Amino acid sequence: MKIHEYQAKAIFERHGIPIPKGGVAFSAEEALKIAQGLGAKGYVVKAQVHAGGRGKGGGVKKVETLSEVETAARGILGTPLVTVQTGPEGKQVNRLLVEEAVEFRQELYLGITVDRAEAAPVIIVSGAGGVEIEEIAATRPELILKEVVNPLTGLCGYQCRNLVFGLGLEAGAIRSLTPFLQKVYEVFAAYDCSLVEINPLVITKDDGFLALDAKINFDDNALARHPELKELRDPDEEDALERKAGEFNLNYIRLSGNVGAMVNGAGLAMATMDLIKLAGAEPANFLDVGGGANKEMIEAGFKIILGDPRVEAILINIFGGILRCDVLAEGVLQAARTVDIHVPLIVRLQGTNVEEGRRILRESGLDFQVAETISDAARLVAAAVKS
């Protein structure tokens, strides 16, 4: 799960990690009020969307006067922000973070994530802050420092010292940066984060460290043990169909193609998408109904696929294991009774209770084509879209 910068900063503040003074605004009037309360020499107005590259996309404005805060807020709010991560259609901005402008003498990068190869958290810092870390990793990897953290001990003092010296900072920074890094690691571990990123982490004029930006992603598998994080979810950041799917425990991701797919198992679902493409069509979605799907989930999944107006054909590819083919068939019939299936339907069933599943579909009077093998399925899909 992703959250907004201002929400991440609130978590930082609770854990004693210094952040700039500021507040969240949902309107230009609120933005102005926050700025008035700050009484600073300058202000930063930052669009709050779940996407990186906001600065380059024009979603971060540095201004000097209160009236400029209001103008900047009006300019950003309610309009789509296009960044490298949003796609060409952009993301509508509904929230702003208004902060005091901070003077600093150096920008650093700090990130903590889980290194899959090491099977451990890894803390990454770089003296080249404020720019895309992926870019630095690609062009100047020597500027990136890493320490693998033993999860049983947490981030150790000597590791922080390694980073201080690696960054070329004065020895005096050991005393201020060590607790800063350890607090950020504390947040990472305490909330089961998959990513905590501060870019830039700045060194202020009086040698303090300050999180000028903040990004936190949580491990979806651990959300159940952090019920307090639930309210940080911003439904506006999620695709409506994806959200609907989430309510039914379905893994659905909307894509831009014309062939809808319903599959059990994530790997087979991805492979089915690839197969659709190989057959000359484009997948409209990823949909994994999982192993434990019941009739209701199948029905919901089917309706969600049909809810996408771009869909011109639907391929159901089920390799029955835990999910039985007869359950799948009944779910499809249940959906067909309540919605109009206006596109060609291709069904490929294999595995547990396959005969029963095929019989249910055959006797239903539903108009569909049967594919015996996965290759047949691809061929039928391609033909359906072309005609």
Partner 1 sequence: MSILVDERTRVIVQGITGKEGSFHAARCLEYGTRVVGGVTPGKRGRKVEGVPVFNSVAEAVWETGADASLIFVPPPFAADAIMEAAAAGIKVIVCITEGIPTLDMVKVKRILKDTGAHLIGPNCPGIISPGKCKMGIMPGAIHREGTIGVISRSGTLTYEVVDQITRSGLGQSTCIGIGGDPIIGLNFVDLLEMFEDDPDTEAVVVIGEIGGTAEEDAAEFIRNWVEKPVISFIAGLTAPPGKRMGHAGAIISGGTGRAQDKIRALEKAGVRVVRNLGVMGDFIRSYVG
270 in contact with partner 1 (CB under 8 A):
yes
Among positions 89, 170, 221, 227, the unique one binding partner 1 when judged by CB under 8 A: 221
Helix (H) or strand (E) holding 80: strand 80-81
Placement of tokens 């009739």 in the chain = 295
Non-local CB neighbours of 384 within 8 Å, separated by 6+ positions: 312, 313, 343, 344, 346, 369
Task: From 23-31, 100-108, 189-197, 293-301, give the range in contact with partner 1 by CB under 8 A.
Answer: 189-197
246 in contact with partner 1 (CB under 8 A):
no
Nearest one of 376, 364, 254, 243 to 317, comparing CA atoms: 376
128 in contact with partner 1 (CB under 8 A):
no
- State yes or no: is 109 an active-site residue: yes
By beta-carbon proximity to partner 1, the closer residue of 209 and 218 is: 218
Q: How far is the CB of 326 from partner 1 (least distance, A)?
A: 15
Asked if residue 230 lies in contact with residue 223, where contact means CB atoms within 8 angstroms, the answer is yes
Asked if residue 196 lies in contact with residue 7, where contact means CB atoms within 8 angstroms, the answer is no
120 in contact with partner 1 (CB under 8 A):
yes
By beta-carbon proximity to partner 1, the closer residue of 171 and 224 is: 224
- State yes or no: is 312 an active-site residue: no
1 in contact with partner 1 (CB under 8 A):
no
By beta-carbon proximity to partner 1, the closer residue of 65 and 150 is: 150
Give pairs for 38-43: CB < 8 Å, separation 24+: 38/98, 38/99, 38/100, 40/100, 40/101, 41/100, 41/101, 42/100, 42/101, 43/68, 43/69, 43/98, 43/99, 43/100, 43/101
**Binding-residue total with partner 1 (CB under 8 A):** 56
Tokens of 81: 């922000």
39 in contact with partner 1 (CB under 8 A):
no
Whether omega before 200 lies within 30 degrees of 0, making that bond cis, reads yes
145 in contact with partner 1 (CB under 8 A):
no
Tell me which of 43, 109, 191, 252 is the catalytic residue: 109
Find the binding residues for partner 1 in span 355-374 (CB under 8 A).
373-374
Task: Write the DSSP symbol of residue 224.
Answer: G
Q: How far is the CB of 291 from partner 1 (least distance, A)?
A: 7
Counted residue by residue, the chain has a size of 387
Q: How far is the CB of 61 from partner 1 (least distance, A)?
A: 26
Nearest one of 329, 84, 47 to 213, comparing CA atoms: 47
The residues that are catalytic are 109, 197
Residue ranges in contact with partner 1 by CB under 8 A = 85, 114, 116-117, 119-121, 134, 137-138, 150-152, 189, 192, 194, 219-222, 224-225, 251, 253, 255, 263-271, 273-278, 282-283, 286, 288, 291, 319-322, 350-352, 373-375, 378
